[in-house]
Amino acid sequence: MSNSYGKLFRITTFGESHGAAVGVIVDGCPAGLEISAEEIQKALDRRRPGQSDITTPRKEEDKVTILSGIFEGKTTGTPIALVVGNKDQASHDYSHVAQAFRPSHADYTYTAKYGLRDHRGGGRSSARETVARVAAGALAAKLLQHYGITVQSYVSQVGSIKVRKPYNQLDLSQIDANKVRCPDGKTAARMIGLIEDARDSLDTIGGVVSCVVQGVPAGLGEPVFDKLHAELGKAMLSINAVKGFEYGSGFEGVKLRGSEHNDQFYTDEQGKVRTRTNHSGGIQGGISNGQDIYFNVAFKPVATILQPQQTINDVGEEITLQGKGRHDPCVLPRAVPIVDAMAALVLADFLLRQRGNRL
């Protein structure tokens, strides 16, 4: 079981949903990076449960504790250990699934692989693990900021309700202006109504998080198997509930001919190489070309629903199972900082790897 990600900027996460804590070890972060507990906490606050009436009511402060690697507000170059305690577990809510395989959860597959599982909130398979990723992502984002690189994600679709404007026609400073984290206010209101309807129907709904990375220099990416878009795809698909990833023109690009899809080069007034269009999504040949990187991440409806469903137990008997406890009717608002974090971790790693590619 792999619990680590990255080659030079490397993270290892640990902990379970209903254990004592979740945490992360960050190894390879350069010394001298200014970072405070408050900056890490700000990222965690965007992910934490209980932040609005369209998220799970589980109450967790998600207070981060820095155990090592940061001294007097700067990274020391040694491993950074970050821990977040679990305070509001309600393990009794899961006693009814101790012997049952919940539809579309990891219960059966974990049992098939390991011969046992932690049924309390899914244990290690729970999205609670992403707390650690967001904490580490705050460090990665600060490193990127040092080089003028920004990562911004937002909810672009809930169910069939979709933002019709491209990212460069949206005011991304408004991402956190509403509880669904969609920078298009009118569309956000419709999205919230749809999520509330799903919640009131004891159901769930999925959608899409879009991400835009700006300020990336040309040259990041490691062909042939560590292409930049391939690593971004792997990072996004490692997030709980993710079912799809596309970058640049994605699946819509198949509708165009090559003469329409090709991004033609030119040199701007400052002598910088640019492209007139960006169907490539800022990546060509697996390497960044200096243009904006943009991609979409599809999230399925949350698997736990508070309706009766047919399934089987661990001895193969057919049973009726109904979800209990506190769950998100839609994961998207809290997924935004997770997408931000994973994108930042990928780019921070490639940024450090690029240092050794040329004199």
Rounded to whole angstroms, how far apart are CA atoms 125 and 119?
10
- Annotated binding-site residues for FMN read 124-126, 240-241, 285, 300-304, 326
Strands 4-5 and 207-214, bridge-based pairing: unpaired
DSSP 313: B
Overall residue count recorded for the chain in this entry: 359
Instruction: Please state the φ and ψ torsions of residue 232, each to the nearest 5 degrees.
Output: -60, -45
3-class secondary-structure state, position 48: coil
Q: Cα 114 to chain center, whole Å?
A: 26
Longest Cα–Cα distance in the chain: 71
21 near 163, Cβ under 8 Å?
no
- Annotated binding-site residues for NADP(+) read 47
- For 3, other C-beta atoms within 10 Å of its C-beta total 14
With tokens 């969609």, the residue in question is 182
131 near 14, Cβ under 8 Å?
no
Instruction: Please state the φ and ψ torsions of residue 207, each to the nearest 5 degrees.
Output: 170, -155
DSSP 33: -
Dihedral of alpha carbons 258, 261, 265, 269, sign: positive
Nearest to 133 by CA among 36, 64, 221: 64
CA distances from 215 to 152, 153, 199 (A): 12, 15, 39
